[in-house]
Chains A and B, each alone.
Chain A
């Protein structure tokens, strides 16, 4: 029974089953804690074990078309929903499950175990893994909607006025973006009669230039993508979500948002691959988000808000990779998504530790943290170097490739902007580092019994992972590059 093909949907089905199970055991914290730890190990184990492959939910291979019934342009059609598991999906799933494991451990360690809270985390994990794996555009849409509700629920769980407002804004614009994605899908279904992404891309390439209906579908799907990844008009909403959730949960949310950005951008590029205007529009919105995000990050006086704007602007940098359109650019973008997710997770875990240790994240009140927690200070310094692309660490490898890809794609100015952005990110976070750890005269009393050994362990592991990828980038980059080239985007 457990051949490779059934393992692929298990990555989505198992978290859902665990979510339902944990949801029922709401009161019994001990069993919730045990079940979530066990299921975490299984979640991390499955993507590592599964081989590349395709899972057909309808059980049939590609079937012959029915000429008299359907006027579909391509000879063969997939019946039913298809999940495909390639190199990029494998790396994204492994990183996603590991970081989910870390944030669940952090939540358990904080004695905040409530069954419903854990259920929401598992549902958002199931939704984001389904989005990464789905090769069917409607299945992708359903799980984006589930992800919006699950993320909003995680922010609502903080029970503060600001978090309710953030969740409400997030859901209001989630409705708009969900409706526009579904409208785009409806128009594609109407004009091509297909929902499978591989068949859809063949049909559109075989069908020649995009009809005006196809153009409207592209515009609507791009708007949905802007929302899912937190680019220009939705960057404030996404940074509010990161800011108002608990810091270890926003470490998880930013992972999901960046991987949904990558998954949906891959879908857009495969379906509308021969369309140059899409690339320049994505490039425009991405660059604008990068600059607005880092300009806003430099203005903040509160640590969590500063980190959320840095996360949004780094997501824009990933979208810049996609905006370049060349396989080298897309591979560099995906590689940067993985690097950036790891280093941002460190900073968010450090923010959660600072929030517990000093009970505030306002930078003016913090200070003299280095005497209290030297290890966390040192790791934050390393993380600042990691995220702003300083050589030994991983973001350097991906930002250097992004600059080279933009030069090859004929837009060297973007390279200059990427360098300027990494300088601005460095200034923003090093300012936060100075004000937390080095600034004399801290107006905050230290919470003695908070030791945070688990958080310290997590951030050390993550910074070592960043260093490892930084020193040996090709073990992660080459499979991504080969996958992107094989997509023929």
Chain B
């Protein structure tokens, strides 16, 4: 799969088209994957509760199956207000659960 990465990205980024865009998209893909790997290692190493550990592993496995994650990230971060409201509501609930639950 690794040798065809450039073609995958080129075919995915037909609309943007220029060579520079694909280079930067590859960098962002590399950054995203390294963040996921390092974040999971960090959480596994420091989290004292097993819930966080398994949660991190599940997230890592889930994301790795959709490897060119960058285009999904870009689709998730559009300007629409409904998407932002969903994430704000999610964060409010997450914060209250973390602080009150004391994970």
CB distance from B46 to the nearest CB of A (A): 7
Q: Which residue of A216, A223, A236, A420 contacts B84 across the interface (Cβ within 8 Å)? A: A236
- Give bound CA distance, A237 to B24, whole Å: 23
CB distance from B17 to the nearest CB of A (A): 8
CB of A291 within 8 A of CB of B84, answer no
CB of A240 within 8 A of CB of B79, answer yes
Known: A223-B91, A431-B24. A424 touches B77 (CB 8 A): no
CB of B32 within 8 A of CB of A295, answer yes
Within 8 A of B (CB), among A352-399: 364
Q: Which residue of B88, B100, B103 contacts A234 across the interface (Cβ within 8 Å)? A: B88
Q: Which residue of A212, A411, A414, A417 contacts B100 across the interface (Cβ within 8 Å)? A: A212
* Across-interface contacts of B102 in A (CB, < 8 A): 215, 277
The A interface is mostly helix, strand or loop, or mixed, namely helix
Contact with A along B35-49 (1 / 0, CB 8 A): 100110110011000
* Across-interface contacts of B90 in A (CB, < 8 A): 233
CB of B100 within 8 A of CB of A294, answer no
Within 8 A of A (CB), among B65-82: 70, 73-74, 77-79, 81
- Give bound CA distance, A219 to B98, whole Å: 8
Among residues of A, the one whose C-beta sits closest to the C-beta of B78 is: A236
Among residues of A, the one whose C-beta sits closest to the C-beta of B81 is: A169
A216, A236, A410: most-surrounded residue (chain B CB, <10 A)? A236
* Across-interface contacts of B57 in A (CB, < 8 A): none
- Give bound CA distance, A110 to B20, whole Å: 33
* Across-interface contacts of B103 in A (CB, < 8 A): 277
Question: A interface, how many residues as a size bin?
Answer: 35 or more
Among residues of A, the one whose C-beta sits closest to the C-beta of B46 is: A411
CB of B16 within 8 A of CB of A301, answer yes
- Give bound CA distance, A102 to B8, whole Å: 45
B23, B24, B42: most-surrounded residue (chain A CB, <10 A)? B24
Within 8 A of A (CB), among B25-41: 25, 27-28, 31-32, 34-35, 38-39, 41
CB of A215 within 8 A of CB of B42, answer no
Known: A169-B81, A287-B39. A226 touches B91 (CB 8 A): yes
CB distance from A309 to the nearest CB of B (A): 9
CB of A277 within 8 A of CB of B98, answer yes
CB of A295 within 8 A of CB of B70, answer yes
Taking the complex as formed, is B58 at the interface, i.e. its CB lies under 8 A from any CB of chain A? no
Taking the complex as formed, is A296 at the interface, i.e. its CB lies under 8 A from any CB of chain B? yes
* Across-interface contacts of A287 in B (CB, < 8 A): 35, 39
Within 8 A of B (CB), among A197-245: 212, 215-216, 218-220, 222-223, 226, 232-237, 240
CB of B92 within 8 A of CB of A215, answer no
CB distance from B66 to the nearest CB of A (A): 14
CB distance from A155 to the nearest CB of B (A): 14
CB of A216 within 8 A of CB of B100, answer yes
Known: A236-B84, A237-B84, A240-B79. A295 touches B31 (CB 8 A): yes
Among residues of B, the one whose C-beta sits closest to the C-beta of A283 is: B42
CB of A294 within 8 A of CB of B28, answer yes
Q: Which residue of A172, A281, A414, A427 contacts B95 across the interface (Cβ within 8 Å)? A: A281
Taking the complex as formed, is A299 at the interface, i.e. its CB lies under 8 A from any CB of chain B? yes
* Across-interface contacts of B45 in A (CB, < 8 A): 413
Within 8 A of A (CB), among B1-27: 16, 18, 20-21, 23-25, 27
Number of B positions contacting A (CB below 8 A): 39
Known: A295-B32, A427-B27. A219 touches B79 (CB 8 A): no
- Give bound CA distance, A215 to B103, whole Å: 13
CB of A173 within 8 A of CB of B84, answer yes
CB of A176 within 8 A of CB of B88, answer yes
Among residues of A, the one whose C-beta sits closest to the C-beta of B90 is: A233
Contact with B along A151-174 (1 / 0, CB 8 A): 000000000000001100100110
Known: A295-B31, A298-B27, A424-B28. A219 touches B88 (CB 8 A): no
CB of B98 within 8 A of CB of A296, answer no
Q: Which residue of B27, B39, B88, B96 contacts A173 across the interface (Cβ within 8 Å)? A: B88
CB of A431 within 8 A of CB of B74, answer no
Among residues of A, the one whose C-beta sits closest to the C-beta of B36 is: A291
- Given A172-B81, A428-B24, A431-B20, output 15 extra A-B contacts at Cβ < 8 Å: A218-B99, A232-B91, A233-B91, A236-B77, A236-B78, A277-B103, A287-B39, A292-B77, A295-B73, A298-B28, A299-B24, A299-B28, A299-B74, A301-B21, A427-B23
24 contacts between A and B (CB under 8 A): A165-B79, A169-B79, A169-B84, A172-B81, A173-B88, A215-B99, A223-B95, A281-B99, A294-B31, A295-B74, A296-B77, A298-B24, A298-B27, A298-B28, A299-B21, A299-B28, A411-B42, A413-B38, A413-B45, A421-B31, A423-B31, A424-B28, A424-B31, A435-B20
Residues of B participating in the A interface, judged by any CB pair closer than 8 Å: 16, 18, 20-21, 23-25, 27-28, 31-32, 34-35, 38-39, 41-42, 45-46, 70, 73-74, 77-79, 81, 84, 87-88, 90-92, 95-96, 98-100, 102-103
In the A-B complex, the 3 residue pairs with the smallest Cβ-Cβ separation, listed nearest first, are A298-B28, A233-B87, A298-B24
